Chain A
Amino acid sequence: MDVFPIIVVIAFFQLVIIQKPFPDLSQTLFGILLVVIGLFIFILGLESALFPIGEKMANEFALKGNPWWIIFFGFALGFSTTIAEPALTVIAGKAGDLAAGAGAIESDKNAIASFVLGLRFTVAFSVGLAIAIGVIRILKGWPLIWFILGGYSLIVITTFFAPQEIIGIAYDSGGITTSTITVPMVTALGVGLATSIRGRNPMLDGFGLIALASLSPIIFVLGYGIFIYGASGL
C-alpha cells in the first residue's frame, strides 16, 4: 500500500514520457514484493520493541529524578546513532572529494580520510548536543520556538562567513542525520519524557527533538567549513 504511489509514478514516466519498456520487469516486481514485506515486518517490530523500550527508559529516568542521567543519555543516543549513519558517511565522502578538489585540503587519501572523519564527528557531536539541549528543554518546559529562532539566526549569521563549497552540504546534512531507526527511538524518548513529567504536554513538549537534531548540524558543518576553508565574506 505504502509503496504503491512510487510504482505508479515510475511506471507512468517509463511508459508514457520516456517510452521505453521496463528493463528486468521480473526483478522489479520481486523487489517491490520485498519492499512491502520488509515494511510490514519493520512496523511490527517498531511497535513491539523500539517504541516501548524508548518510552520505558524515558519513564524510568523521569522517576529517578536525576536530570543529568537523562541529558547524558540524550547526548549518547544522538552521538552514537549519527556516527554510524550510512547516509552521512556517503555525503561526508562527497564533501571530502569536494574539499580536495578545491585545494582546501591535500588531495591524498589520508588527508581526505581525516577530513571525512572530522566531518562525521562534527555532525555526530552536534546531533548529540542537540538532543541533550532538547531534553533540557522538555525538562524545563521551555517553548521550542525560541530554540528554533535562535538556531535559524545562528545559521543565517554563519552562512555569511561560510565558503560557498560547504553551504549545500551543510544544509543537506541537517536532513540526513536522522535515520529510520533513530527517529522512532528519539520520538519515543521525547514523548515518553513529556508524558511522565507532570505538567508537560506530550504534543507540545514531546516533539521537537528531531527538529533540533536537524538544525544544529547545519551550524556545526558551516563552522567546520569555515575552519577548513577559512572564512569568506559574501
Chain B
Amino acid sequence: MSSGIFELLGNALGGTFLDILPIILVLGFFQIAAIRKMIPHLKQKMIGLVLVVLGLGIFIVGLEQCVFPIGTQMAHQLTDLYFLAGNDSTRMEILQNSKHIEPGIYLWTYVFAFLIGFSTTLAEPALIAVAYKARDITTGAISAWGLRISVALGVAAGVTLGVYRIVTGNPLHYYIVTGYVFLLIQTWFAPKQIIPLAYDSGGVTTSTVTVPLIAALGIGLASSVPGRSPLIDGFGLIAFASLFPMFTVMAYAMITEKRTKRKEIDEPS
C-alpha cells in the first residue's frame, strides 16, 4: 500500500512537471531571446518552482486517494435508480420502464451538486491564487474570502442547474445563451472595476479539483437517467460552472459598492 502511494506520487509529480515544463521553456526562451538578462534571485525562484510542482503533486495524490473515489462513488449511488426508488425494487422497475421521469425525484442529487460545487471551489488552488492577487491590487477592498465565497456560490448554483438540465434533457445552448443575455444586462449595472475580474472568475473556477468531480457527476447522472446519453448529455456541467460565477462576482461587487456608499452617507467626514 505504501509503495502504491509512492508510485502515485511519482506519477502526479511527473504530470505536474509536464504541466509546468512548457511554461519554463517559454519563459527561458523569452528571457534569453527577448530580454537578454539573467533572472534575479534565480536560485530562490527555482526553489519556488520546485515547491509549486511538489505541492501540486502531493495535493493531487491526496485528491485521487480520498476525494475523487468517494465523490464518484457518491454520484453513482445518488443517481442509482434503486436508491431513488427508496430501495424498493417494484418501484424501480416502474421507473426504469417509464419514458418520462419526474425531475423531482432527483432532489438529493441537486442538493449534492450544490454542496459539492460550493465546497470544491473553495479548495481550488487557481482561485486562491487569483483571489490573493485581487486582494493585493485593491488593497483589501475585495477580500480574498469574499471573492472565493461568491465564486463558490456561483459554481454551486451553476452545477445544480446543470444537473437539472441533464435530468430534463433540455438543449444546453438554450440555457447558456439565455445566461449570456442576462450576464450582459448585469454587466451594464455592475461597477466597472469588477467586470474583468468577474469574467475571469468564470474560467478560473474550473481546474484541478472541480473538473474531475463535476465531470464524474455529469457522466454518472447521464448514464443512469433513462433516455439520456452520457456522451451528449453528460457534458455541459463545466459550462454552467464557468458561467454562474460571473453573476455572483458582479453581484458581490454591487453589494459591497452599495454598502460603502451607504457608509459614506451615514458617516460624513
Contacts and interface: CB of A to CB of B under 8 A. Distances in A.
A18 B78 contact: yes
B34 A73 contact: yes
A51 B66 CA distance: 30
B49 interface: yes
A8 B119 CA distance: 9
Contact of B61 (A34, A86, A164, A179): A34
Contacts of A48: 44-45, 47-48, 51
Interface stretch (A113-121, A144-152, A224-232): A144-152
B18 to A, nearest CB: 6
Highest count of chain A CB atoms <10 Å: which of B187, B234, B242: B242
Interface stretch (B89-97, B195-203, B254-262): B195-203
B265 to A, nearest CB: 24
Interface string B89-133: 000000000000000000010001001101110111110111011
Interface string B6-44: 000000000110111111011101110011010110001
B223 interface: no
A202 B59 contact: no
Contacts, number: 336
Interface string B218-239: 0000000000000111111111
A40 B51 CA distance: 10
A57 interface: yes
A191 B48 CA distance: 20
B203 A178 contact: yes
Contacts of B37: 60
A128 to B, nearest CB: 11
A45 B1 CA distance: 29
Contacts of A50: 48-49, 52, 129
Interface string A194-208: 000000011111111
Contacts of B124: 180
B263 interface: no
Given A86-B19, A184-B130, A14 B29 contact: no
Contact of A45 (B30, B49, B212): B49
Contact of A14 (B51, B74, B120, B192): B74
A180 to B, nearest CB: 5
A17 B52 contact: no
Contacts of A104: none
A14 B115 CA distance: 13
Given A6-B116, A9-B115, A38-B61, A179 B51 contact: no
Interface residues of B, number: 106
Contact of A5 (B59, B122, B187): B122
A32 B27 contact: no
Nearest to B180: A152
Given A38-B55, A39-B59, A191-B133, A176 B206 contact: yes
A185 to B, nearest CB: 6
A111 interface: no
Contacts of A28: 65-66, 70
A205 B45 contact: no
Given A50-B48, A168-B236, A207-B196, A77 B126 contact: no
A42 B56 contact: yes
Closest CB pairs A-B (n = 7): A49-B48, A31-B66, A38-B59, A45-B51, A34-B62, A41-B55, A168-B235
Interface of B: 1, 15-16, 18-23, 25-27, 29-31, 34-35, 37, 39-40, 44-67, 70-71, 74, 77-78, 83, 108, 112, 115-116, 118-120, 122-126, 128-130, 132-134, 137-138, 171-173, 176-177, 180, 184, 187, 192-193, 195-197, 199-200, 202-208, 211-212, 215, 231-239, 241-242
20 contacts: A10-B71, A13-B74, A13-B108, A18-B74, A28-B65, A31-B62, A35-B67, A45-B53, A80-B25, A84-B22, A152-B180, A167-B172, A172-B236, A175-B205, A175-B239, A179-B126, A181-B52, A191-B133, A205-B196, A214-B202
Interface of A: 2-3, 5-6, 8-10, 12-14, 17-18, 22, 27-53, 56-57, 60-61, 64, 66, 69, 73, 76-77, 80-81, 83-87, 91, 94, 97-98, 101, 144-145, 148-149, 152, 155-156, 159, 164-165, 167-169, 171-172, 174-185, 187-188, 191, 201-211, 213-214
Given A169-B235, A214-B242, 18 more contacts: A9-B119, A13-B78, A18-B83, A37-B62, A41-B58, A42-B52, A48-B45, A50-B52, A164-B232, A165-B231, A168-B234, A178-B207, A180-B19, A182-B23, A204-B192, A204-B196, A210-B199, A211-B202
